[in-house]
Structure 1
Amino acid sequence: MDAADLKPTPPPAAATAPCHQRPPAPVTPWSTGLFDCLDDKKNCVVTCLCPCITFGQVAEIVDRGATSSGASAALYMGIALLTGYEFQWVYSCLYRTKMRTQYGLQESPLPDCCVHFIFEPCAICQEYRELRNRGFVMEIGWQANMELQQQGRIGGAATVPPAVHAEGMTR
């Protein structure tokens, strides 16, 4: 036996990966298309006339109640007024990205920033429909949705993001 035989062999690459790294979450399609606004005419009209209302409702649910719909709507409108309706899409785009991450949604048909820059009302309507289709009652906010869930009046699937499948991990 010589010195070369005493050197430890390095572990396989998979075994050296830090255990805190997770595989990417499964990516699922949106429940409705970007241009399916006319499937919900009431929300389409509200969003076209005053997008801050719909955006505020979406933001409250995505933030899980940390920010009220009124505060989010006011900030959206404030940015719009201060910038001459030029940059409010940047603020709403951040929520689309956050929502996609929470629910494992595809970044489609374009990157989030492009969707909000070009199709702002359609993007907000799509986000609203997605949350509604996941079981949220959009008009009542986060806290009331949680109370309904605790009472068993709405399913728990609305508040639970999709499970992350950790293949190969045993702990």
Structure 2
Amino acid sequence: MTLARDTTKVATLDVIYTVITSPDSPSAKFWGHMPDTFTSSAGVTFKRPLLKTETSSGLSISSNGEVWSYMSNLQNLTSTDCPLENQPRSKELLDLYSDHPNGAIMTDLGLPMNAGNWWAYDMAILGTTTWSYQTVSLRTGAIFITREEFCNQRTDALSGAAASGRR
């Protein structure tokens, strides 16, 4: 670096930069500034997804240089890393999508959009007899029923129908 007033003085400085697509965690591969929690305009506070090294179970998937935890429905129901009672409803995920449409949530909050959908608490009937959990694409706002998805947790307790066990 050269000082503007005196070009004879030179200093060498290390530069550390951070990226939005990595959390500020000792487990992250990059220096990051992804927030640990974020709140939708509807007032629902969410936790960031967990890195694979921060969980005790589940699969993993890579996105933006980090390895994220990725779980099947069965793993979601039995994992202490992703408890059912902390899962958002699909409407809450859609509100979050509305705040950051068309994949902007990756540039705004750093969340991994290319790796999958986000698990919702509420269920939908598949066929005539099978209830399945829904997932929401925070890239497109579409709702799906899939086998594997990201675990994304609300930080506050569920209320209303979810707390009483109704779906």
Higher helix share: 1
Higher relative contact order (CA 8 A, sep 6+): 1
Report if TM-score (shorter chain) is over 0.5. Answer: no
TM-score range, shorter chain: under 0.3
- How high is the TM-score relative to the length of structure 2? 0.27
Higher strand share: 2
Is the radius of gyration larger for structure 1 or structure 2? 1
- How high is the TM-score relative to the length of structure 1? 0.26
